[in-house]
Amino acid sequence: MQILIISLDHSCNNHCRFCSQADLAPPSAPPDIRARLEKARGEGANVVHFVGGEPTLHDALPSWIAAAKHLGFERIGLQTNGRRLAYPSYARTLAAEGLGPVDIALQGATGALHDYHTNAPGSFKQTISGLKRAHEASLEVAVTTVITRSNMRHLPDLGAAMGVLKVANWRMRMSLLVGRAREDGSRLVPRWSMVEPYVRRALDETAKNACTAVVSGLPLCIDPSLPRYDPASDEAPQGVYGHACEDCAARAACAGFDAGYLTLYGERDLRPMKEGRPEMRGGPDFSDPLKLPFVGGLGRTVADQPVPSD
């Protein structure tokens, strides 16, 4: 089974401080989406993810979703900041054309925190409205949060908010030292040891409201019991390993980490494991792309070729 990831371009109506694509110039127009869908479908892809930038800025998105449905794609996902979904008719249109999972970016449980990260005043209110309209349109809603030094202490609050917002799946993702994050990486990207206790507390909160939460971008030696989601089909840059990883018992199962992290903090937080990986706490099984709640990744996108799923 294969997943086609289509990056429309790098345009966005948010201006996130951690944006991994901020230094990439948006193309003048998206390439021939229908031709790429037809080619990938003929090669066996049956799941497609539309990512950006912000895909909803393209008025042709509903027609591309309809084309994917007509070609026989069994699952069509959208990665979005959710702002345009605030218009009920738009959310209903996407659902009617065949859209399934919607992965919405939410960076804080308050307007002040979310809008600080997006550099877009009022974006929190619109994103929350979009999330609610997506529910009303019977779309499958997941949330992705990029972990920064500014929001990591508030992850438990976000975990509690998942229950209020009726979100079934939440991904907490370490920020990457690429794109705009390079401008002030040490003030943006937190150390793993700083993040760990807040992720644990966030998981305690989601356990109360039946939300399945996962963390991405943390090497396995940073509390190996944490439920991870680091799929090979993610568009994030290839994970690297430190010298301390060479003799780690979990090396084969570990997805590694962002190479930029080493330039900031070195290997001080690596904790090589002497024994095999223990069971993850509530570790989910997202091996079936037809049930995958998350869409695309958070890094620079790779060529839009079908990616074999694990």
Question: DSSP string of 206-246?
Answer: HHHTT-EEEEES--TTS-TTS-B---TT--SPPPB--GGGT
Q: Is 172 helix (H, G, I), strand (E, B) or coil?
A: strand
Per-residue pLDDT 10s for the chain (310 aa) are 578 999 888 889 999 999 988 777 666 667 789 999 999 999 999 999 999 889 999 999 999 999 999 999 999 999 999 999 999 999 999 999 999 999 999 999 999 999 999 999 999 999 999 999 999 999 999 999 999 999 999 999 999 999 999 999 999 999 988 888 888 888 899 999 999 999 999 999 999 998 999 999 999 999 888 999 887 654 556 789 999 999 898 888 888 999 999 999 999 999 998 876 555 444 677 878 888 999 986 544 444 334 444 4
pLDDT attached to residue 309: 47
Best CA proximity match to 204, nearest among 282, 297, 126: 282
SS3 292: coil
The pLDDT of residue 300 is 46
Among 133, 131, 152, 151, which residue's Cα sits nearest to residue 142? 131
pLDDT of residue 68: 98
pLDDT tens by residue, 219-256: 999 988 899 988 765 455 678 999 999 989 888 888 89
The pLDDT tens digits of the residues spanning 153-199 come to: 999 999 999 999 999 999 999 998 888 888 888 889 999 999 999 99
Strand, helix or coil for residue 169: strand
Token pair of 101 as six digits: 């999972």
Looking at domain 2-308, what is its CATH homologous superfamily? Aldolase class I (3.20.20.70)
Query: For position 190, what pLDDT does the model report?
Result: 95
What's 174's DSSP letter? E
Give yes or no for a contact between 283 and 200, defined as CB atoms under 8 angstroms apart.
no
